[in-house]
Each structure stands twice: as structure tokens, then as C-alpha cells.
Amino acid sequence: MVPIIQVKDLTYTYQNSKVPALQNISLTIEPGQWVAIVGHNGSGKSTLAQMLNGLIAPQSGEVYIDGELLTEESVWAIRRKIGIVFQSPDNQFVGATVADDVAFGMENNGVPRAEMIPRVQAALEQVGMTAYATHEPARLSGGQKQRVALAGVLAQRPQVIILDEATSMLDPQGRHDVVSLMTDLRKTGQFTIISITHDIDEAALADQVILMDNGQLVTAGTPAEIFVQGDMLQQHGLTVPLSEKVRQGLLQADVNVADHYLDEEQLVKNLWTLHSNK
Amino acid sequence: MNKLIFGRYYPGDSFVHRLDPRLKLILNILFIVLIFFAQHWPSYVILGAVVVVSVWASGISLGFFLRGLRPMLWLILFTVGLQLFFTSGQHVYWQWGWLSISREGLINAGYIAARFLLIIFMSTLLTLTTQPLEIADGLEYLISPLRVIKFPVNEVALMLSIALRFVPKLMDETTKIMNAQRARGVDFNNGSLLKRAKALLPLLIPLMMSSIDIASDLTTAMISRGYRDGEGRTRYRILKWQSRDSWVLAAFAVISTGMLVLERMM
């Protein structure tokens, strides 16, 4: 199987800075996976995301999307395969109303109007915003705007969806809505999802976690492999997920929980087992 | 400020609301031109009737209109006053120094007042019954012939639509910055003119910086979604000319011809 994203030896330094934002990053992502890229502010996550669709050109190294090398010629074709939802709900809302915003990407790619209308409707339905089609952005909440942004991406039918800190400016309810939408999308299996986040609980839902710090790739693995190394996470300015915190606390209180990372469901099961074995 | 209805949109679903924005824009321009052809009272009666019927068809109460126009009253009175006192004529009714009221002055002042009111009524009706977006779409259509002289119609239309879309956002931003600066002790409402002008700086500079941030975020988002330039784009939103639009246009043509003929005969 051709990896959907392959990054080789990527290096990039911003004009006004001495430290490179990215240093020799190499990674491979298989189609259909949900990959979370975590790291504290300034670790190079967003730079990496913008490099994947050619918003920033690497100073050295190569990016392959779906087997195709990202170059000046192929960049527009590649942008059709990648949809990005950015951080600020307001500043990425181009259209004057919800439906216009969802259609914007298709308009750019010359999709005929007759095809646009059902695609806009389908995308709005997928994110549960059908009732808001004619609303202006000023009348929507942050979470709703991000769902519209996601609908705009879905309407373009990309292969890869990148969420560049898409939940970081939302309230807990809005964040929950967007995250559960992402889990629904993963179930369809049509998309490779890359979520860039500092929310460690969001990262815990992914198939793969990539930890970045200071422009370098520190480690990559399944959530279970990464989160068990609590000290290492803290060294790189991150916290551990809630279930891991609870497990550590229980261990300190001499409760005999499992000695490896558990997600919330597993932790609850584990505690039940302990309780009934007493 | 809140009393001023000039330039605002009043949501509704009346006959006038549903007319094509292009038609409304064109009729507004034609109506204003027509007003300047009117030199006699019967013409003003006809034009006034057109306005009253239009307001009635829009489902917005005349009282709402009049209340909304109250802030403009001073402007009208001022202009009418100038006409009234400074027009020289043969039949002078009253004179005091260089101020005089003559018959010509009275007539002129009456005409000016009527023109003012009719123009304000009609253009307010346009903005009250047409969403800003529709006006932008209408304008885009109307300037599209300029494409022949390489005028970037698509870009201007996109600029207009983005500007309109960000008006409420920037208003919110302004209020937020104002309150934030107030919380830090900036006084926007008191002091001499110079002092007040200076107090605006801590409002304007953050507002400008935040506009630049928005612009850069928006550009990134637009490029990621495949925006290159106005060429080769398809359109989601289109305007539909319906039979009622043709009827209204025909009615307007009949009325304006009638009025012009009447003007000729007098």
C-alpha cells in the first residue's frame, strides 16, 4: 500500500529566527489512520501541517502525498487531496453564509453548480448543521463555525483531513462536538485524519501519536506506548491524559491497578475487576 | 446611533424583499435621476405616490420609517433653510439685511425638501429590504460589463463580500478592545477634542493589528481551500430574474414616461 503521506528529512527555518522550526523530520502515515501530532507551543506542529499542503515550501527535504511529490506544479492538485481546518473559527470563514462557506472550496475548483448543491447539503448533514444553511457567521457559536469549516472540507472530498488545533479556541461543549464528529469520520474509514493539538485527551483517541519538541520528532507510537512514559511527556512540556493521571494516583495510593496505560473505559473495567476480586 | 435606520437591513418576506436586487439597484438609480427631471408639483405628487406604494408593498410601517429618519431632519432643515433665505427673487415677502424670503425661494426650498425626502426614502427602502449580500451580488452583476476593460470584477466582488462578512466581527472586536482599554483606565468620552483624539489611539492600533492577523489567517485558509484568483471559478449563489421583476420594471417605465410627458406639457 502506498503511504498517504510520506515526509523525508524536512527542514525549515523562518526568516527572522535563528532556530529551525523543523529539523530533519521524517515520517510516514498510512491511509485511514488517525494520527495526533502533539507538542507544546512552538514545537513545529503547525509548520509541519502547512508544509503538507505546500503553504510553506521546505528548505530541504521532500513531501509525498499519495505517492506524488509536492512541487510547484503539483501543489494545486495536492491541495484538493488535503483539507485543513484551522484554529480560529472566525478567521477562516470566507463565505457570507454557512452554505456559501461550504461551497467556497468547490467554487475554486470549478465544480458545476448542479453538483455543488447536493454536495453542500450532504456535507452540512454530515456535521449536523443543515438547519443553519442560510445563517451568517455572526449568528453562530465557535463550535458551530468549526463544524461548518469541517463541512467545507468534507464537501471537497479530500483524502486527508488536517485539524490544526481546530478545537483550541472552543468551549468544552464545542470541543466535544468537534471531537465526536472526528470519531464519526474515522469510522467511515474514508479519510486519513491528522489532528494537531495540545489537548492530550484528544490525542488519546488517535491510532498513532507523534510527539514533537523544538522542531524535532521526539517519538512516535500508539497512545498506549506514549502515555505510559509520563515523565518523558512532562519533560517535553505536556501532561498525561486524565485516565493516566488517575492510574498514577491510584498506584501511589497502593491500589493494585494495571502497570500499563489504560484509556478511560479500560480503567473503569480494571477497577471493577479489582473490586469484585476483593 | 441605534435610532438611525439608514443603511440597515430589516428582515422580512414582503413583495419588495423578494424582488431581484439588481432591479432594486437599477430602479433606485433611475428614480434619483427622474427626481432631478421633476420641475413641477404634479411630478412630485406622482413620485411621492411611487414612494408611498413602495413602502406599503415592503410591509414596513411608515411610522418606523419616519422615526428612523428623524436624525436626518437637521440636515434637511439646514439645506431647506439655506435655499429659503438665500434665493433672490422678484416677489419678496420679507427682508432683513441680506436675508430674504422670496416666492422663488419658497418654491425652491419646497422642491429641495421634496427631493431630499424622496431620495432618502427610496435609498433607505433599498437597504431595509435587501440583504447586504444581495446588494453585493447585484453590484457585481451591474459592474460585470467592465470586464471588457480588464476591470477585476470577480476580485472586487469577493472583496466586497468579505468586507461585508467581517463588518460585524470587526464591530465586536472594536467593542472588546474599547472595554479592555476602559478596564485599564482609558477614558474615551471626556476631555478636549485633542484629548479624545489621543484616546482613540489605544483603540485604533490594536484594531489594525488584529485586522492584519485576520487577513493573514483568512488568506492561508483561502489558499488551502484552493483559491487562486477570480478566473475559472464556478458560482454557488446566483440571482434569478422573475416575472414580478419584469412587471415592476414595466410599471416603472410607464410611470416615468408619463411623468416626463407631463413635464413637457407644462
Measured between CA atoms, how close is A66 to chain B, in angstroms? 17
| B236 contacts A92? CB cut-off 8 A | no
| B224 contacts A108? CB cut-off 8 A | no
Interface test mutation site (partner B, options A51, A65, A92, A148, max chain B beta carbons within 10 A): A92
**pLDDT of A163:** 93
- Asked if residue A57 lies in contact with residue A71, where contact means CB atoms within 8 angstroms, the answer is no
Asked whether the predicted pLDDT for residue B6 surpasses 50, the reply is yes
What ranges in chain B are assigned the alpha helix state H? 21-37, 41-58, 62-69, 73-86, 103-129, 132-143, 153-183, 193-199, 201-224, 243-265
Q: What is the mean pLDDT of residues A250-261?
A: 84
**3-state secondary structure (DSSP) of residue A164:** strand
Instruction: State CA A228 to chain mean position distance.
Output: 22
Say whether residue B187 is in contact with chain A using an 8 A CB cutoff: no
Asked whether the predicted pLDDT for residue B183 surpasses 90, the reply is yes
User: How does residue A116 score in pLDDT terms, banded at 50, 70 and 90?
Assistant: very high
Measured between CA atoms, how close is A59 to chain B, in angstroms? 19
**pLDDT of B208:** 95
**Whole-number mean pLDDT of chain A?**
89
Instruction: State CA B173 to chain mean position distance.
Output: 25
| A50 contacts B226? CB cut-off 8 A | no
Q: How far is CA A218 from CA A24, A208, A230, A239, B12, in A?
A: 11, 14, 14, 15, 58
Sheet strand arrangement including A60-65: A22-29, A5-12, A60-65, A68-69
Q: B123-143 burial, b for 16+ CB within 10 Å, e for fewer?
A: bbbbbbbbbbbbbbbbbbbee
Catalytic residues of A: 165
- Could you identify the residue written with the cell 472550496? A105
Asked whether the predicted pLDDT for residue A90 surpasses 80, the reply is yes
User: How does residue B103 score in pLDDT terms, banded at 50, 70 and 90?
Assistant: confident
Any idea which of A19-23, A33-37, A79-83 has the lowest mean pLDDT? A19-23
Instruction: State CA A189 to chain mean position distance.
Output: 15
**Whole-number mean pLDDT of chain B?**
86
The whole-angstrom separation of Cα B215 and Cα A42 is 22
More reliable by pLDDT, A262 or B198: B198
| B235 contacts A111? CB cut-off 8 A | no
- In chain B, what residues touch A116 (CB-CB under 8 Å)? 234, 236
Q: What is the mean pLDDT of residues A237-263?
A: 84
| A112 contacts B234? CB cut-off 8 A | yes
Which of A15-24, A121-130, B106-115 is the most confident on average? A121-130
Any idea which of A49-63, B66-80, B110-124, B151-165 has the lowest mean pLDDT? B66-80
Say whether residue B150 is in contact with chain A using an 8 A CB cutoff: no
Nearest residue of A to residue B167 by CA position?
Answer: A138
The whole-angstrom separation of Cα A107 and Cα A100 is 9
User: How does residue B167 score in pLDDT terms, banded at 50, 70 and 90?
Assistant: confident
| A156 contacts B226? CB cut-off 8 A | yes
Asked whether the predicted pLDDT for residue B68 surpasses 80, the reply is no
Say whether residue B159 is in contact with chain A using an 8 A CB cutoff: no
Round to the nearest angstrom and report the end-to-end CA distance of chain B: 44
**pLDDT of A236:** 85
The residues near B93 (Cβ < 8 Å, ≥ 6 apart) are B101, B102, B103, B106
Interface test mutation site (partner B, options A86, A106, A107, A124, max chain B beta carbons within 10 A): A107
Percent of chain B's residues with pLDDT above 90: 31
**pLDDT of B27:** 93
Q: B100-109 burial, b for 16+ CB within 10 Å, e for fewer?
A: bbbeebbebb
Query: Which of A50, A55, A94 minimises the CB distance to B218?
Result: A94
| A53 contacts B226? CB cut-off 8 A | no
Query: Which of B217, B220, B232 minimises the CB distance to A110?
Result: B232
Q: Which three cell numbers stand for residue B10?
A: 430589516
Any idea which of B5-14, B51-60, B147-156 has the lowest mean pLDDT? B5-14
**pLDDT of A208:** 92
| A91 contacts B168? CB cut-off 8 A | no
* Complex confidence, ipTM: 0.87
Asked whether the predicted pLDDT for residue B106 surpasses 90, the reply is no
| B233 contacts A93? CB cut-off 8 A | no
Q: Which three cell numbers stand for residue A254?
A: 497502593
**pLDDT of B1:** 41
What are the pLDDT digits (tens) for A201-239?
888 889 999 999 888 898 999 988 888 887 888 888 888
The whole-angstrom separation of Cα B94 and Cα A101 is 64
Q: Which three cell numbers stand for residue A195?
A: 489532528
CB contacts < 8 A, A to B, total 95
Measured between CA atoms, how close is A111 to chain B, in angstroms? 6
| A110 contacts B225? CB cut-off 8 A | no
More reliable by pLDDT, B246 or B133: B246
More reliable by pLDDT, A238 or A157: A157
The residues near A230 (Cβ < 8 Å, ≥ 6 apart) are A240, A244, A248
Phi-psi label, residue B232: left if phi above 0, alpha if psi -120 to 50, beta otherwise: left
Query: Which of B214, B223, B225 minimises the CB distance to A152?
Result: B225
Asked whether the predicted pLDDT for residue A247 surpasses 60, the reply is yes
Measured between CA atoms, how close is B5 to chain A, in angstroms? 20
Asked whether the predicted pLDDT for residue B40 surpasses 50, the reply is yes
- In chain B, what residues touch A85 (CB-CB under 8 Å)? none
- In chain B, what residues touch A96 (CB-CB under 8 Å)? 133, 136, 161, 164-165
More reliable by pLDDT, B69 or B118: B118
**pLDDT of B175:** 92
Any idea which of A98-107, A156-165, A262-271, B199-208 has the lowest mean pLDDT? A262-271
The residues near B158 (Cβ < 8 Å, ≥ 6 apart) are B230
User: How does residue B47 score in pLDDT terms, banded at 50, 70 and 90?
Assistant: very high
User: How does residue B7 score in pLDDT terms, banded at 50, 70 and 90?
Assistant: low
The whole-angstrom separation of Cα B263 and Cα B266 is 5
Asked whether the predicted pLDDT for residue A167 surpasses 70, the reply is yes
Q: Give the predicted TM-score (pTM) of the model.
A: 0.82
Measured between CA atoms, how close is B107 to chain A, in angstroms? 47
